[in-house]
Amino acid sequence: MHAWGPAKEPIRLVQGEKTHPDPDPIALACYGLLRPAINQVWLRFVQGRPVSHVTVEFLAWVCERLARAGKKAWLLVWDNASWHRSHEVKTWLQQHNGKAKAQGGVRIIVAHLPIKSPWLNPIEAHWVHGKRAIVEPQRKLTAQELRERVCAYYECEQVEHLSQQVA
């Protein structure tokens, strides 16, 4: 992170401790879709962790929105996260694309990035700018404040959270 400070004095980051009882999660997960042609970002926060069935739910949600926008195909640039490469997600993608081809709908063409190359994904620069724009070094933001600031920065609506199903 870039910051201004006195010359020749190192910037010291202090890890904030979780206050008890703190109902907020330690971290928030969020799926995002960048639509550069119209300078739009679609976001869905995750209640819990981003696991395979949550990924499938996000993909289906995006396909519905893209279909309403009249799109026929979606080029999806993905990193190597385990929830992107899982058997469940691959199976869903095959079934979805088969159904989209036969009945109409949005086909998904997946472009997997090489390992450890996030700079090749166009959305990564947007994440960096977003993080810098909403951070407040003097205090820890609540989960709700964080979600509101993220949605305000990207000018997107706060949609119902995706949720991890616990068996």
Question: What pLDDT is stored for residue 113 in this prediction?
Answer: 87
Question: What pLDDT is stored for residue 87 in this prediction?
Answer: 94
Question: What pLDDT is stored for residue 68 in this prediction?
Answer: 94
Whose tokens are 């009945």? That residue is: 103
Angle 52-68/87-103 helices, nearest 10 degrees? 20
Question: What pLDDT is stored for residue 13 in this prediction?
Answer: 59
Has this prediction a pTM greater than 0.85?
Answer: no
For the chain, which domains are there?
29-163 (3.30.420.10)
* Residue-wise DSSP of 87-150: HHHHHHHHHHHHHHHHH---EEEEEEPPTT-GGGSTHHHHHHHHHHHH--TTSPPPHHHHHHHH
Question: What pLDDT is stored for residue 106 in this prediction?
Answer: 96
Token couple for 63: 């396909």
How far is residue 16's CA from residue 143's CA, in Å, rounded to a whole number? 15
CA 61 vs. chain centroid, Å, equals 13
Mean pLDDT per 10-residue interval, the chain, length 167 residues? 57 62 76 89 89 93 95 91 89 96 95 84 85 82 90 91 73
How far is residue 141's CA from residue 135's CA, in Å, rounded to a whole number? 8
Question: What pLDDT is stored for residue 25 in this prediction?
Answer: 73
